[in-house]
């Protein structure tokens, strides 16, 4: 007797929510205002949050930049996307020194703030 498997149900589309730009900006501001982390764990958590925010914003800004590829705002956003990817890739190479990790957090914060601005600018043009 031949065995059959049950059909796999189609995936349910996840509800698409806009990114929480206010939280991302607050996280970036916190990183840029930080003189020194209170603990190594605080810095690790902050870097993880920033990396997650940057990864999300890359996915959000990418299609907007593609829609506006022939415009200056689209070109600028595309350039920022490349910079964001380079910053994410550089994360594996940072030294364990607190000063190097803090400098990396600040670089992520600056690119996150820029991505938030590009998202706002390109969303308004749609």
Residue 4, domain member (yes or no): no
Residue 109, domain member (yes or no): yes
The pLDDT of residue 30: 93
* Residue ranges making up the domain that contains 88: 40-125
Residue 14, domain member (yes or no): no
> Minimal CA–CA distance to 54: which of 93, 28, 16, 15?
28
**Tens digits of pLDDT across the chain (126 residues):** 566 665 655 554 555 778 899 999 999 999 999 888 778 888 999 999 999 999 999 999 999 999 999 999 999 999 999 999 999 998 877 777 888 899 999 999 999 999 999 999 999 865
DSSP state, residue 11: P
Residue 108, domain member (yes or no): yes
Domain count for the chain: 1
| Long-range CB pairs of 41-45, under 8 A, 24+ apart, other chains included | 43/98, 43/101, 43/102, 43/105, 44/101
Residue 31, domain member (yes or no): no
Residue 47, domain member (yes or no): yes
The pLDDT of residue 117: 97
The pLDDT of residue 69: 93
Residue 44, domain member (yes or no): yes
Residue 98, domain member (yes or no): yes
CA distances from 97 to 66, 104, 126 (A): 38, 11, 44
The pLDDT of residue 83: 97
């Amino acid at each position: 007797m031949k065995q059959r498997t049950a059909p796999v149900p189609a995936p349910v589309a996840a509800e698409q929510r806009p990114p929480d730009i206010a939280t991302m900006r607050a996280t970036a501001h916190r990183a840029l205002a930080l003189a020194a982390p209170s603990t190594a764990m605080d810095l690790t958590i902050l870097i993880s949050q920033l990396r997650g925010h940057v990864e999300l914003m890359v996915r959000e800004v990418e299609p907007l930049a593609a829609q506006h590829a022939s415009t200056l705002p689209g070109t600028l956003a595309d350039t920022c996307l490349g910079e964001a990817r380079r910053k994410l890739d550089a994360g594996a190479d940072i030294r364990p020194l607190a000063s190097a990790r803090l400098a990396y957090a600040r670089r992520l914060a600056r690119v996150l703030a820029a991505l938030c601005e590009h998202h706002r600018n390109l969303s308004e043009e749609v």
